[in-house]
Amino acid sequence: MIIIALFQDNYILAILSLTSLLFSVIIGFWVLTRICYGNYDVVKERINIMPLVFNTDLSRREILIVTPFIILVMLFGIKPNLIANILETSL
C-alpha cells in the first residue's frame, strides 16, 4: 500500500523502490538456497522445476491445512482493504 501511494506522489522513487525490493527478494532466495542446499550445481539436481506441483514432502492433509492460509495471504495482498476496513472500524 505504501508503494501504491508512492506511485501517486513520486513515480521515479516508486520505480526505484520496486527495483530494490525485487533485488532484495532475489538475493534473499539465493542466500536461502545457498544455506539450505549448498553449491548451485547440487541445487539444480535436487530441486524440481515445479516444487508445488511435484512436492512429495507434504501429505494431502498438510496441503489441505496450508491451502486456505495461502489463499488468504494472496487475497489480502491483492485486496488489502478487506482487512484494513475491519481494522479501521475497530479503532
Residue 46, pLDDT score: 57
82 is in which domain, residue-wise?
51-91
Asked if residue 1 and residue 43 are part of one domain, the reply reads yes
Q: How does DSSP assign the chain, residue by residue?
A: -HHHHHHHH-HHHHHHHHHHHHHHHHHHHHHHHHHHH-SHHHHHHHS-SSTTTS--SS-HHHHHHHHHHHHHHHHHHH-THHHHHHHHHH-
Asked if residue 43 and residue 1 are part of one domain, the reply reads yes
Asked if residue 82 and residue 42 are part of one domain, the reply reads no
Asked if residue 4 and residue 40 are part of one domain, the reply reads yes
Residue 80, pLDDT score: 83
Residue 90, pLDDT score: 60
Asked if residue 64 and residue 27 are part of one domain, the reply reads no
Asked if residue 80 and residue 39 are part of one domain, the reply reads no
Asked if residue 40 and residue 3 are part of one domain, the reply reads yes
Asked if residue 58 and residue 27 are part of one domain, the reply reads no
Residues with pLDDT less than 70, the chain:
1, 38-57, 89-91
Q: How many domains does the chain have?
A: 2
Residue 69, pLDDT score: 92
Asked if residue 35 and residue 59 are part of one domain, the reply reads no
Residue 11, pLDDT score: 81
Residue 71, pLDDT score: 92
> Rounded to two decimals, what is the model's pTM?
0.41
